[in-house]
Amino acid sequence: MQDAKSKIYFFGFFFLFLVFAASSFYSYALFSASRDELNQTTSANDQQLDSILHMRVAVRERAIILWHMTLQGDLFERDELFQKFYHYGSEYVKARKKFLSLPNSPEEKALLKNLDSETNTRAPVLRDFADKLMSDDQTDYTEQLNQTLTDQIVVAQVLDQLISLQQRQNNNARAQSEKQIEDILSNQIQIMILIFVFGFSFAGFVINSTAKQRKELADANKQLEIQANHDSLTGLVNRSFLLKQLELLLANARRHKRQGAVIFIDLDNFKPINDTYGHKMGDLFLQLLSQKMLDNIRETDILCRMGGDEFILVITHFEQQKDCISIAEKLITTLSTEYHIEGNTVKTSASIGIYILDDDQVTAEEAIIMADKAMYQAKKAGKNRYHLI
């Protein structure tokens, strides 16, 4: 039974450990997946954003170069600026191709379509103006420059919308990832709480069960001790326990010069009670007499059933012999009283032998033998009396 309970306890705690480990690994896997998804999304967005920024820079630089060309009268300087103008045009095309090579959302595709529409409409005007700057000596380009810059602002605004979209997508991805992580942590905390609640409940069950087992074991040991040291019928101490206590009493009497006594009690004419009323009545009568004798002795004294209808009372100490004799007389009176048990009137008497313990070097067995001899003297003298030696 104990091994079965130990196995239950072991598997219970092992199950809790498995649940804890599984939930932890599962939460970590979800967290890693969310983190990887966020990294992939932000990485793609960052590449898109980088491409758009390059496009935005190219549009801005081309507009600035045109403005510088209108201010520059030197044809060589204009030619150098003209080369830069087309260089940034190439950079714009490269950045656009890179943007298209990346996954695009429907909203991004719509903005890119709008951007291409605006660029295709305004790019020829932009190139014509640049070519004109290289071939014309006109000094006032204000009207044409303003129109060109206005066109580039429109294109830049569409690019700004794409930049804003990428930033929103990054923010949304981070917010979604944070929400997922919060949900994962919330679920893990709930699981942990359940595990701890169940764990503490199970631990409480184990502790209570163990305490109950210990109590049952202690009660069983106590019961075994009682059975080993007490008479099963009357509950009085048995012979083996009495001998141990009597040895201690003898040693104490010799050490401290204190007097004690061993009183041997034998019921007179008890056998006819068993013969007349049966052994059940005899057992009930012995139980009753045992309790009556206990009521007439001191708590420090020891009453033992030797077997059958024989009892021994050990008086642990007394000041004068008359104290010991007084106890013996009370017992004679108690044991010779009529008692009514289950509608029957039963009566007996007792012959009592008293052996006074002093500093003589006698053993417990020898003291009992001496008290037994004194009891037989009481029987020979007519029973229902005591004899002291």
**Residues carrying an active site annotation:** 309
Q: Using an 8 Å Cβ cutoff, are 354 and 388 in contact?
A: yes
Q: Using an 8 Å Cβ cutoff, are 276 and 264 in contact?
A: no
| Pair of tokens at residue 132 | 């004109």
Q: Using an 8 Å Cβ cutoff, are 334 and 347 in contact?
A: no
Q: Could you please report the per-residue DSSP string of 230-284?
A: B-TTT--B-HHHHHHHHHHHHHHHHHHT-EEEEEEEEEET-HHHHHHH-HHHHHH
Q: Which of 273, 363, 259 is nearest to 309 (CA)?
A: 273
| Pair of tokens at residue 312 | 């021994």
> Alpha-carbon torsion 216, 222, 224, 226, what sign?
negative
Q: Output the CA–CA distances (angstroms, integers) from residue 70 to 176, 246, 344, in the order listed.
A: 50, 132, 143
Cβ-proximal residues to 145 (8 Å cutoff; 6+ apart), any chain: 66, 67, 70, 129
Residue 345's H or E segment, with its range, is strand 344-346
| Pair of tokens at residue 124 | 């020829």
Length, in residues, of the chain: 389
